[in-house]
Structure 1
Amino acid sequence: MNIQDGAPKPRAKGLLSLADQPLFLMLVPGLFWAGNAILARGLAGEVPPVGLAFWRWTLAAILILPLAWRYLGRDLAVMARSWPIMLVLSALGISVYNTFLYFGAQTTTAINLVMLQTLMPVLVVIGTFLVFREMVTPRQGAGIIASLAGALTLISHGDPAVLAHLDFKTGDLWMLAAVVCYAAYTVLLRLRPVVHGFSFAFATFALGATLLLPFYLAETHGGWPMPLTLHAAFAVGYVSVLASILAYLAFNRVVELVGANTAGLAVHLVPVFGTILAVLLLGESLHPYHGMGIALIATGIWLATRKPAAS
């Protein structure tokens, strides 16, 4: 199914052909979700978690509406008929996942946020089996194991003992719950109505923001309003455009192209890009374990996404 119109079409050429390239598309959420985790931790205590999530999805819905407008006339009725799954997907993947992540960032470290996300591909595999009885192929299994090993190598700095001594806090429970919710969203995406990608994104963003509204009002009334600062404005802009619109369109398309089990491996690119950003922006040094971890993740994703040779 093509992301441009929600229906099969001949393979596009030029820039639009990127919408048919799962390896490229997996880079997009990996990069922007890495920034989302770092930003969430960096602004902990300054920007309220529900407020950040609410304005993230409100702005994202507003920005994508002009792109979705031409398709909504035909797609709204389709999505309305599928309202139960639209509501479930909006709650799990939009409202709950990101809000829980931002709650987790208040009391845990960025490394714990990233580490717990590496569990998501495994949970997706379990979920697709429980819900759809979908079996993992040997090639996919090898890819998931290799990619997980690479992600843990980056997080542990190449020393497995580090993982045993991580300091887990209340925020880690929030993050674990968030990961479970997004794994469920990934598994259930195959049940989404067949509509244009822009229409689906707008509808889920708007529904997700609406579900968050009463909690945002309660947070504001409780004494933690969204601050009118440059930091808050930058945060909302980043998470709305990059971590929401671009990352979600790309991730949803990857699920269409290669299935939930393989698409979940995009999460293992989060520590890869976190490492690259730390080197480029913070001047941190590269070490052998960086190369080992990135190579394992690249190998795992290649194994999981490559098509079997024609017989």
Structure 2
Amino acid sequence: MFIEVALDEFTPVQVAFGRLACGAVVLIVLAVSMRAVPRFTWRMTGALAVVGIFMSGLPFILIPLAQQHVTSILASLLNATTPLWTAMFVALLIPAERANRAQLFGLVIGALGIAVLLGAWRVDDFPALGAAFMLGATACYGIGSTLSRVLLNRIQASPVGLSAIQITLSTLIIAPLALATPVPAEGAFELGSAAMWALIALGVTGTSFAYVWFWKIVKAAGATTAASVTYAVPVIATALGIVVLGERLHWYEPVGALVVMSGVWLAQRRPRPRPEVLPELQGSSV
């Protein structure tokens, strides 16, 4: 919803840069006040920059680009595909977590759900461009979540410090793109500008605090579990889209979302570890 409102005055790249800049300021203040400013080597900083590109740089640009062509409701429903991408990239990039048959079946079900969600049979008004941008963003989230496990598993830092460095690096990376875009109209920065306040709210809530909590979940329960936050996003964003923005919900969108969620549930399933047999019981009839 905040992205949709911010796009009234700002370009997609400006929305991305604005939320990152606001988020970085809040996180830096938090890290300094909590004395949680981490000290990283250049190698660790490089790893954080790579993860930041996929977790907050590219997707923060792609999502506003998508919402120029699709509603905030459809964007949020497509955001629910993030765990599918995460499960797929975890299976591809982490050898110890190869996908089993149930998970592969879940990925197929999820893909079919995306087709239903988008109304693939609508040849005349199929939202191809918006869907491509949005799915590109969720694929980036999947890659970023997986790389966070591969590249950041040995980094010892608080979630606040980790988030502060990542968001700051992402801000610096996309700053040249933001500077190259046209300057917003003067009214965009007035106190009565809904777009400006939406951008600030997006940075403070959805970029700073949300990322601190995200890294806490990644450290405690893993990337796949952290990505399952997308179960809640479609419900809240759809309600706000209808009530606040006056958007229309098509029948096939919630149906497709339910199919996607079913695929996500299957794709996230892990086989239960077999109980170990004590040496003294091996070969016995017990």
Question: More deviation in 210-219 or 98-107?
Answer: 98-107
The CA distance in 2 between the partners of 1:290 and 1:116, in whole Å, is 11
Structure 1 residues 223 and 196: CA distance shift in structure 2, 3 A: closer
Matched, 1:253 2:216: yes
Matched, 1:67 2:24: no
SS in 2 for 1:46: coil
Superposed CA RMSD in Å reads 3.9
Residue 179 of structure 1: aligned partner: 138
Question: More deviation in 185-194 or 224-233?
Answer: 224-233
Residue 75 of structure 2: aligned partner: 113
The CA distance in 2 between the partners of 1:225 and 1:95, in whole Å, is 24
* Alpha-carbon displacement from aligned partner over 1:167-206 (angstroms, at most 9, x marks no partner): 2143332222222211111111112222111111111111
- Structure having the higher helix fraction is 1
The amino acid of 1:228's aligned partner reads: F
Deviation of 1:300 (Å): 6.8
Structure 1 gaps, min length 5:
1-37, 157-161
* Alpha-carbon displacement from aligned partner over 1:229-268 (angstroms, at most 9, x marks no partner): 4212211221112111222222222222222223322223
Structure 2 gaps, min length 5:
276-286
Of all paired residues, the percent bearing the same amino acid is: 20
* Alpha-carbon displacement from aligned partner over 1:19-54 (angstroms, at most 9, x marks no partner): xxxxxxxxxxxxxxxxxxx33234434222111211
SS in 2 for 1:249: helix
The CA distance in 1 between the partners of 2:91 and 2:17, in whole Å, is 33
Give the TM-score of the pair, scaled to structure 1. 0.68
* Alpha-carbon displacement from aligned partner over 1:34-92 (angstroms, at most 9, x marks no partner): xxxx332344342221112112111111112232124445x2x3354412211101222
Matched, 1:200 2:162: yes
Structure 1 residues 273 and 301: CA distance shift in structure 2, 3 A: farther
Residue 135 of structure 1: aligned partner: 98
Matched, 1:82 2:41: no
The CA distance in 2 between the partners of 1:268 and 1:169, in whole Å, is 24
Which of 240, 245, 252 pairs up with 2:203? Answer: 240
Given that 1:121 and 1:144 are in contact with CA atoms closer than 8 Å, whether structure 2 keeps it comes out as no
Q: How many residues align?
A: 264
Residue 3 of structure 1: aligned partner: none
Residue 21 of structure 2: aligned partner: 58
Structure 1 residues 283 and 174: CA distance shift in structure 2, 3 A: closer
Give the TM-score of the pair, scaled to structure 2. 0.73
Question: More deviation in 206-215 or 243-252?
Answer: 243-252
Q: Stretches of 4+ moved more than 4 A in 1? A: 136-146, 151-156, 223-226, 278-285, 289-311
Residue 189 of structure 2: aligned partner: 228
The CA distance in 2 between the partners of 1:105 and 1:207, in whole Å, is 25
Map 1:140-151 → 2, pairs under 5 A: none
Matched, 1:170 2:129: yes
Structure 1 residues 43 and 277: CA distance shift in structure 2, 3 A: same
